[in-house]
Amino acid sequence: MAFDLREYAATVRVTDGVYGTELQGRGPAGGCPELLNADDPAAVEAVARSYVRAGADVILTNSLSAHRFGLALHGAADRAAEIARAAAEIAVRAVAGTDTKVFGSFGSTGRIVMTGDTPQADLAAAFAETASALAAGGVEAIVLETFNELAEAEIALRAVRDACDLPVVVSMAFAFGPDGTATMMGESPADLAKMAEAGGADAVGANCGVGPKQYVRVAELLKEATGLPVWIKPNAGMPAVVEGRTTFPMGPAEFASFVPTLIEAGADFIGGCCGTTPDHIRSVRAAVDGGQPR
């Protein structure tokens, strides 16, 4: 029986944090975290298990850039299917014997569709390849995350729909405009909701870009625009460079203090993006379990 993401979201669900923060220091400096799926799968699985132990209902796969465009930067474009499938299989092993779900994740190619520099068919083929590999690895849904351009997110959604029959979450980064609720390209949460509904998505959301305070309003706008479940994964505050290293200032307790407000605003899935750790997710779990009426 197919996984029903919308029914699953009837209860507020806790998602994971990021892999990158936890995998820092493994592999060559400036390397590709996704290649660790093949080079050091035990390390990736340990991170996945840490989020399961922290209480996540959903963990993502270590595959944000596991498509031919992202891997091309590391000379591994031809390994996209291998790396994506390995990411899924690692996460599936990590949740074995638990109720935690695995959603396969990938993000933007970094190309701007409106410039026309990259054929849309090439983007779609890359997204379909990764989605197919994640599905083959055993994930229960696909999350399109950290997209900055609605046109690219739409291409990705269509590609996933063509490649597999899994539920799809479409999540974009909102951090621009007068009130910080627009994408880099000036698109609104309502624009995302309209596209996602028309394209057959099962949930919409926001991740990365800003911290949880700013995403309260984005969650409200998404909930006003659609009946689809709302997925929210903010950063642990705004990044700062300290002694040459990017850091995020918000600790677990402060991060989780926004959970009740996010739930009231309409968030159905709550987790973390850049700078969040298993400790942040443990605090989110406690806040969700503390109860907050809608």
Write the pLDDT tens digit of every residue in 127-181.
999 999 999 999 999 999 999 999 999 999 999 999 999 999 999 999 999 999 9
> Chain-wide mean pLDDT for the chain?
95
Task: Provide mean pLDDT across the span 97-111.
Answer: 98
User: What are the helix and strand counts (H, E) for the chain?
Assistant: 13, 10
pLDDT digits (tens, 9 = 90+) for 218-273: 999 999 999 999 999 999 998 888 877 778 889 999 999 999 999 999 999 999 99
pLDDT value at residue 27: 60
Q: Quick one: 5-289 is in which CATH superfamily? A: Homocysteine-binding-like domain (3.20.20.330)
Burial of 294 (0-12, 13-18, 19+ CB in 10 A): exposed
Domain boundaries, the chain: 5-289
What pLDDT band is residue 116 in, cutting at 50, 70 and 90? very high
Residue 14's H or E segment, with its range, is strand 13-14
Q: Identify the pLDDT of residue 292.
A: 45
CA 41/CA 51 separation, integer angstroms: 16
pTM: 0.95
CA dihedral of residues 109, 78, 43, 206 (deg, nearest 10):
20
